[in-house]
Amino acid sequence: MGEIVSSGIRNNWKPPLPADPETTGQLQEWLASEEYNLNGMGRDFRGADLSGGDFSDAWFTDAVLAGVRLVGASFYRADLQSADLTGADLTGADLARANLDEAVLRSARLDGAQMPRASLCDVDASGASFRGTNILGASLLDTDMRGADLTDAVLYENFFEIKVDDSTVVRGLTGTVFGPITVFSGESSRELAGAELESWIGARGGQVQVIPPRRPPK
């Protein structure tokens, strides 16, 4: 399988196609065209293997990508709002500036993915794997990471208002965040910020510095 490197040679890329005939037709039409942006809004891509594809600036709003292999795919500035990515394999994917607000990433694999300035607001990422992922300058607001694996992930000045529990792995997690996070234990929860947040992560093998939010310029 070749990789898409420009729209001009897109039709040389022949990925396994989705089971849904309408989505297959839409994808084939896009592959054969010189149009740059794929419109996959509301489409069902299950059964496809879109690894290595270039979906920069594409629309996947409300799309179903559950279980789809997207290894090394580029979603630069793509709109994945409310997309279902349950169990999807996004290992090594480029999600720079991608909009993942309200998406479902339950049990998805994002190991080694690049996520600078991505937006993950109100996202269900419970049980997802972010091992070695670069999450730089991203917005994680009300993001459920209970049971997620953040081993060796790198953070940089992220809004990091996430939900975690005792099964969330933060070993080797490094970088800077604004916080706070909410830690769930059974039916109870508590909010951690500042030194308490640093201590909680440190006790679990991570080393993160909590910094005050930037003040807007006068």
Tens digit of each residue's pLDDT (9 = 90 or more) over 16-27: 999 999 999 999
Would you place residue 9 in the very low, low, confident or very high pLDDT band (cuts 50, 70, 90)?
very low
More confident of the two residues 127 and 179: 127
Distance CA 116, CA 179 (A): 17
Tens digit of each residue's pLDDT (9 = 90 or more) over 76-115: 999 999 999 999 999 999 999 999 999 999 999 999 999 9
Percent helix, strand and coil across the chain, each rounded to 5? 10, 30, 60
Give percent above pLDDT 90 in the chain.
85
Q: Would you call 217 exposed, middle or buried from its count of C-beta atoms within 10 A (0-12, 13-18, 19+)?
A: exposed
Tens digit of each residue's pLDDT (9 = 90 or more) over 25-76: 999 999 988 766 899 999 999 999 999 999 999 999 999 999 999 999 999 9
Residue 215's pLDDT is 53
Taking the model in full, what pTM does it have? 0.91
Per-position b or e across 103-138, b if 16+ CB within 10 A of its CB: bbbbbbbbbbbbbbebbbbebbbbbbbbbbbbbbeb
More confident of the two residues 177 and 34: 177
DSSP string, 19-86: SSHHHHHHHHHHHHS-----B-TT-B-TT-B-TT-B-TT-B-TT-B-TT-B-TT-B-TT-B-TT-B-T
Q: Where are the beta strands (DSSP E) in 59-169?
A: 119-121, 134-136, 139-144, 154-165
